[in-house]
Amino acid sequence: MNDTPLLSVRNLVKRYGGSSTWFGGNSFGVSAVDDVSFEIAPGETLGLVGESGSGKSTTGRVLLQLEAPTSGTVLFKGQTITGLSASELKPFRREMQIVFQDPYAALNPRMTVGAFVAEPMVVHKTASGSERQDRTAELFRKVGLDPSFMTRYPHEFSGGQRQRVNIARAIALNPSFIVADEPITALDVSIQAQIVNLFQDLQDELGLAYLFVAHDLSMVRYLCHRVAVMLRGRIVEMAPSEAIFGDARHPYTKALLTAIPVPDPDIERNRRHVPFDLEMHGPRPGQTLQKVAPQHFVLT
Ligand SMILES: Nc1ncnc2c1ncn2[C@@H]1O[C@H](COP(=O)(O)OP(=O)(O)OP(=O)(O)O)[C@@H](O)[C@H]1O
Ligand SMILES: [Mg+2]
């Protein structure tokens, strides 16, 4: 990791429906993403955690420019990428990839998984012929799949293997940044740790940075250097993982921490879940992220 951010997200807002002028300046309308700012360093993993509908996927899609923001700026390696045309965005597309939650939906059922993994190299004309074949085989090995699987179709694979295929495609163009949008949520618990390990190994090997989106905090601790907790479109707390797990300040973060299941059924049954009062502790207009310790910010 070095000090120059790979990615800077500044005051990102995404509003759906209605017109932004109609609701402009009105605190009544709830934005999917509401004034979100963060940075990710090269080789760093930022976890983005929060309940369903909190705006995690929208943040990921908008920062990759898969959708235009309502307002705000995204910089990649210091260059503004918000507002660029499709052709201006193309070089950045190679560098920024996404892995989705449902590994089967992302795949093309009528395409061999080898062709699917190689497709970005066709689109971006980075390799052809036997060079592309060799590179595809290398990508299969990198994600722990036998290259002989290249000629098979998605339905022949297990969930974990399908997610490996998606990851192979995501790294095909040597990106420096991947949005992983709940990439393990749909997988069996026994498989989840394997995929988390794969993300970690690829990070070590390729120097990748991740925005790792998750519902809860369970896997995040081991994978993420820092964690941002999102609620109702806003980041309510952001801190290094140790601080989130050892010194959480926002009531919502505390509630999320008590929601992590404990493997022991006796302990789990008797555990007290801290209830979260959205009316009392939910984000309010006018609140801003305040620094409470180095790299530790809380919405107050
Ligand atoms: N294309 C869209 N049109 C209208 N509203 C949308 C659209 N996409 C998302 N939303 C709304 O924006 C809010 C945030 O959605 P988003 O999918 O980003 O949440 P999330 O945190 O990823 O949730 P989940 O954990 O369920 O994936 C939700 O209220 C959702 O209904
Ligand atoms: Mg989502």
Is 170 domain-assigned? no
Ligand 1 atom having least distance to the Cα of 57: 22
> Dihedrals φ, ψ of 71, to 5°?
-160, 170
Is 135 domain-assigned? no
Is 211 domain-assigned? yes
Mean pLDDT computed over 24-28: 47
Is 133 domain-assigned? no
- Looking up residue 244, the CATH number of its domain turns out to be 3.40.50.300
| 290 and 298 Cβ atoms separated by less than 8 Å | yes
Q: Which domain holds residue 259?
A: 7-109+177-182+200-299
The contacts of residue 212 (CB under 8 Å, 6+ apart) are 45, 46, 47, 48, 180, 183, 199, 220, 223, 224
pLDDT at site 25: 47
Is 16 domain-assigned? yes
285 Cα–ligand 1 center, Å: 20
Ligand 1 atom having least distance to the Cα of 55: 18
pLDDT exceeds 80 at position 268 = no
Q: Tell me, using a 6 A CB cutoff, whether residue 85 lines ligand 1.
A: no
pLDDT at site 70: 95
Is 65 domain-assigned? yes
DSSP 148: G
User: Over the stretch 186-213, which tens digit does the pLDDT of each residue have?
Assistant: 999 889 999 999 999 999 999 999 999 9
Number of domains in the chain: 1
Is 242 domain-assigned? yes
pLDDT at site 277: 87
103 Cα–ligand 1 center, Å: 19
pLDDT exceeds 50 at position 28 = no
DSSP 31: P
pLDDT at site 150: 97
Strands 96-99 and 289-293: unpaired
Is 126 domain-assigned? no
Mean pLDDT computed over 146-163: 96
Mean pLDDT computed over 82-111: 94
Least trusted range by pLDDT, from 2-11, 121-130, 183-192, 268-277? 268-277
Query: Which residue's CA is minimally distant from atom 12 of ligand 1?
Result: 32
Ligand closest to CA 229: 1
Q: Work out the angle between the directed axes of helices 113-123 and 129-142 (0-180°, nearest 10).
A: 120
Ligand 1 atom having least distance to the Cα of 51: 25
Distances (CA, A) of 7 to 80, 83, 136: 10, 16, 28
Mean pLDDT computed over 17-28: 52
User: Over the stretch 121-151, which tens digit does the pLDDT of each residue have?
Assistant: 999 999 999 999 999 999 999 999 999 999 9
* pLDDT, mean over the chain: 92
pLDDT at site 276: 85
Mean pLDDT computed over 23-49: 83
Query: Which residue's CA is minimally distant from atom 14 of ligand 1?
Result: 55
Q: With cut-offs at 50, 70 and 90, classify the pLDDT of residue 30.
A: low
Query: Which residue's CA is minimally distant from atom 10 of ligand 1?
Result: 32
pLDDT at site 219: 85
pLDDT at site 26: 47
pLDDT at site 21: 52
Q: Tell me, using a 6 A CB cutoff, whether residue 50 lines ligand 1.
A: yes
- Give the H or E element holding residue 104: helix 103-106
131 Cα–ligand 2 center, Å: 36
User: Over the stretch 213-236, which tens digit does the pLDDT of each residue have?
Assistant: 998 888 898 899 999 999 999 999
Share of the chain above pLDDT 90, in %: 81
Q: Which of 51, 54, 181 to mutate to test the pocket of ligand 1 (most atoms within 8 A of CB)?
A: 54
Q: Tell me, using a 6 A CB cutoff, whether residue 57 lines ligand 1.
A: yes
Ligand closest to CA 98: 2
d(CA 7, CA 142): 25
Q: Tell me, using a 6 A CB cutoff, whether residue 69 lines ligand 1.
A: no
| 238 and 289 Cβ atoms separated by less than 8 Å | yes
